[in-house]
Structure 1
């Protein structure tokens, strides 16, 4: 199957006033194609930083990040932008839908940015809206949807351009239990069906049980554990 994501001895720190805060100190990780990886850790441990490194939003101080064989940290800023546009799907805790666009237009936006807003792309967007149970809301606007419905649209938007990698940062953290369970079921169905690699940041052990593998960030390093084990 091979690795889609490879992190090789990653170091990352940030300046906070006169001090430097070290987030990652020699972290290594390989993520297989089609794998669902849950990323756990305390607040401030570096989970979101790790997602940003995989997306090329952030660059490591030392070490190498490779996604789909591409050395992200050696790319120019423009190359990283195009890489994200074509190969990465994002799902965040707060949906990030554009309120002035209809539900369908929100889905079509990644396709337009990638130059793939053609008949096949529009058909895929409509199919995904049906798959998330919102095909009849295509012409509506996000503010007419519940939080759970908005997050289901966000999941569909993350997958519409058929990315190699989906990065999800606490995607159920702002939802009630029932809506969160629906969104997780969607991830299971849609990501598995497309063979997409998923990295999901979560604080929930219940969410982590659904993953193929669980990795914890502790003291700047990555520790693997069995899915369903005790959280850090």
Structure 2
């Protein structure tokens, strides 16, 4: 059952650890990670390639499970759910934006945006109208019946952001969403993120390599040697 009180952190990682076996040796990716994220908070997650940033997202979304510790989202311990229950929880409550858009090429732009509503059984006339309004807001209302391949990379990523928010998830996970875009398109997508996430009071965790992008967030966390550390806007870890 989802807890509604605003005093409860939306995301809690309690002493979380995750390791993988490579070439007969154990590689510790995360060790004793503790994290609290409040509702409506935007967290940027920094770290070098292979440091475990995507592993953190996979654990928070329930795609993966920790070797130890607890992952609790809105009062629900994901460790205690079956794989199917985690899938349904993720489908209903979490939105995703990836580096490579992940739009379905056989669906139109509007159909891509409506897909999360269809999957959760919440597609209504009002939802379709809201999706069209969002397309107008990002300047793509005239492309509703076009297919993704006819859009530029920046346009596709803007559609991906809108799709991720269409079913009003309580948590948005974004993995290097501007990493495949030129500077101008990246700025447009970041502006869209800032505007829509703040408007809807959505909690967001954004993985990035860019310190400039990270500083748009309420709080910056850095992964180093398997541990999460708070990082000041000046770049110093604490």
**Structure 2 length as normaliser, TM-score?**
0.95
Instruction: Spell out, residue by residue over 1:169-216, the C-alpha distance to the aligned partner (whole angstroms, 9 max, x if none).
Output: 000000000000000000100000000000000000110110000000
CA RMSD of aligned residues (A): 1.3
Partner in structure 2 of residue 217 of structure 1: 223
Partner in structure 1 of residue 3 of structure 2: none
Q: Would you say the 8 A contact 1:210–1:227 is kept in 2?
A: no
Matched, 1:164 2:170: yes
Q: Following the alignment from structure 1 to structure 2, what is the Cα–Cα distance between the partners of residues 137 and 173?
A: 24
Of 87, 112, 124, which residue of structure 2 is paired with 1:106? 112
Of 177, 194, 197, which residue of structure 2 is paired with 1:191? 197
Instruction: Spell out, residue by residue over 1:44-71, the C-alpha distance to the aligned partner (whole angstroms, 9 max, x if none).
Output: 1000000000000000000000111110
Of 50, 55, 61, which residue of structure 1 is paired with 2:56? 50
Q: Following the alignment from structure 2 to structure 1, what is the Cα–Cα distance between the partners of residues 125 and 234?
A: 42
Partner in structure 2 of residue 10 of structure 1: 16
Matched, 1:97 2:113: no
Report the alpha carbon displacement of residue 227 of structure 1 after superposing the two structures with TM. Answer: 2.9
Q: Following the alignment from structure 1 to structure 2, what is the Cα–Cα distance between the partners of residues 127 and 73?
A: 38
The gaps in structure 1 that reach 5 residues or longer are none
**Structure 1 length as normaliser, TM-score?**
0.97
Partner in structure 2 of residue 208 of structure 1: 214
The gaps in structure 2 that reach 5 residues or longer are 1-5
Report the alpha carbon displacement of residue 229 of structure 1 after superposing the two structures with TM. Answer: 2.2
Report the alpha carbon displacement of residue 228 of structure 1 after superposing the two structures with TM. Answer: 4.8
Q: Would you say the 8 A contact 1:110–1:161 is kept in 2?
A: yes
Q: Following the alignment from structure 1 to structure 2, what is the Cα–Cα distance between the partners of residues 174 and 74?
A: 36
